[in-house]
Amino acid sequence: MSLDDVRRIADAVLYEGYVLYPYRASAQKNRSRWQFGVLMPPAYAAADPSESTTAQAECVFEHADYPAIDVIVRFLQVQRRTAAEAAPGTAGAPEVPGVWDEAVEREIHVAAGGATLFGEGVREPFAVPGGEDREATADAQVVRTRRQLTGMVDVRATELPGPWQAARLTVRVRNETGTSPEPLADRDQALPSALVAVHLIITVSGGAFVSMTDPPEWAAPAAAECENIGCWPVLAGPAGARDITLAAPIILPDYPEVAKESAGELYDGTEIDEILTLRTLALTDEEKDAARATDPRAAALIDRVESMDADALRRLHGTIRDFGAGPGGPGGPGAVGATSPAAGDDASVPWWDPEADESVSPSTDSVLVAGQPVARGSRVTLRPGARRADAQDMFLVGRTAIVEAVLLDVDNTPYLAVSLEDDPAADLHAAHGRFLYFMPDEVEPA
């Protein structure tokens, strides 16, 4: 995996919430933006304790001799767009927001290695120039302004005690932008001086990062002592590689991926591409025009979605991954998606389907509850406990139910599928395979 591939993963974080469906400036949820990884200028952070000027990533890495660390600090610079005419006078013309915040991607590179890395570390200031661009359109005079940004990146490593030749890496990013020409009375005024969606891509040569989410036993104490502020580092790159770490303001798993079926950014990293694509296609022509007028990236999104053919749309629906294709390889040690030996005669049956394992039979299996066998057809009284019951379960305390099946999860933990005895729609639910589920210690034989 190249760094461009990691950048694509990071972009899903960088632009999370940049402009949300329905992608129009008039939408209420698009009037409050820039919520993730925002480093405010010191003057505003001092006035508002909920804001921060600094992000810090700490992680553990193994090394040999003199490793080299390369840090890419990525963030968005707010570009404030103003239009002399907020609403064009041309009949039927789309709404053009009078003031709208766009974004310019920025990257800062810092390298550290050798004795300096383990000594005083590297402190590297950076500056991002401001500027102003003017554009005359048929409907308005558009001005885009950017404030100059300044900051500091600190990179240092600290040797850890023990025989493992490991160290703690600390990367700190600070916004040091000075006071703007006008007082920063509110967050909206301060945002052009902020670093937005700050995240780090860190690579090591002559060493290997340790997972901070699931560290090996020897590294667990050191990992627990790491202090991460405003971001969380995870291993990135191909599964099993340990030379790249991505520290982002949204918690990700190790080795995050962007689905290859995704045609491009939809600016909502936690949503499903298919849903947002279909919703976008359902917008009226007037709504699509309003979205295009909101932002160049929103316009590109609308155009991309409208150009998708049937095959591209079909690829978004119902993809199944081989969960065994991890570091251990398909079916290898610890592979979650390894095929059950009992399913070897019929590869078309998924490993998790009860039909794949002749040793289980939900309709005839039983489980002991208070010394009595409980199986399909048994009457039980529901006693959901406070330890894991939710609010809906508590309404069912004392109700009588009929056991429909005894099931085992992938860890061989038994569950009971039941239907309420006095539920007039029980037959309808059963026809659709819809039941309530309880563990054996949450019921009593009736």
Output the 3-class SS for the chain. CCHHHHHHHHHHHHCCCCCCCCCCCCCHHHCCCCCCCCECCHHHHHHCCCCECEEEEEEEEEEEEEEEEEEEEEEEEEEEEEECCCCCCCCCCCCCCCEEEEEEEEEEEEEEEHHHHHCCCEEEEEEECCEEEEEECCCCEEEEEECCEEEEEEEEEEECCCCCCEEEEEEEEEECCCCCCCCCCCHHHHHHHCEEEEEEEEEEEEEEECCCCCCCHHHHHHHHHCCCECCEEEEECCCCCCCEEEEECCCCCCCCCCCCCCCCCCCCCCCCHHHHHHHHHCCCHHHHHHHHHHCHHHHHHHHHHHHCCHHHHHHCCCCCCCCCCCCCCCCCCCCCCCCCHHHCCCCCCCCCCHHHCCCCCCCCCEEEECCEEEECCCEEEECCCCCCCCHHHHCCCCCEEEEEEEEECCCCCEEEEEEECCCCCHHHHHHCCCCEEECHHHEEEC
Instruction: Determine, yes or no, domain membership for 180.
Output: yes
Q: What is the mean pLDDT of residues 1-5?
A: 80
Instruction: Determine, yes or no, domain membership for 221.
Output: yes
The pLDDT value recorded for residue 335 is: 29
For the record, the structure tokens of 28 come out as 């209420």
Q: Contact at 8 Å (CB) between 193 and 243? A: no
Task: Tell which residue, 116, 200, 197, has the closest CA to residue 153.
Answer: 200
Q: Work out whether the CA dihedral 282, 284, 290, 293 comes out positive or negative.
A: positive
**CA 72 – CA 106 distance, rounded (Å):** 10
Instruction: Determine, yes or no, domain membership for 9.
Output: no
Are residues 189 and 49 both part of a single domain?
yes
Are residues 77 and 222 both part of a single domain?
yes
pLDDT band at 88 (very low <50, low <70, confident <90, very high): very low
Domain boundary among 258, 284, 318: 258
Indicate whether 90 pLDDT > 50. Answer: no
- Domain hosting 368: range is 360-445
CATH of the domain at 424: 2.30.30.140
pLDDT band at 94 (very low <50, low <70, confident <90, very high): low
Q: Contact at 8 Å (CB) between 343 and 356? A: yes
pLDDT in tens, 111-162: 999 899 999 999 999 999 999 999 887 767 889 999 999 999 999 999 999 8
**CA 304 – CA 309 distance, rounded (Å):** 10
Instruction: Determine, yes or no, domain membership for 89.
Output: yes
**CA 19 – CA 159 distance, rounded (Å):** 43
Mean pLDDT is highest, among 54-58, 65-69, 159-163, for 54-58
Domain boundary among 190, 224, 258: 258
Q: Contact at 8 Å (CB) between 371 and 350? A: no
Q: What is the mean pLDDT of residues 256-265?
A: 88
The pLDDT value recorded for residue 17 is: 87
Q: How many domains does the chain have?
A: 2
Domain boundary among 258, 282, 309: 258
**CA 212 – CA 58 distance, rounded (Å):** 9
The pLDDT value recorded for residue 391 is: 78
Q: How far is CA 88 from CA 81, 95, 100, 144, in A?
A: 16, 7, 16, 18
The pLDDT value recorded for residue 351 is: 63
Output the pTM of the full model: 0.73
Are residues 217 and 90 both part of a single domain?
yes
pLDDT in tens, 300-334: 999 999 999 999 998 888 777 665 544 433 333 33
Say what percent of the chain tops pLDDT 70.
87
Instruction: Determine, yes or no, domain membership for 270.
Output: no
Q: What is the mean pLDDT of residues 8-16?
A: 88
For the record, the structure tokens of 294 come out as 């909101």
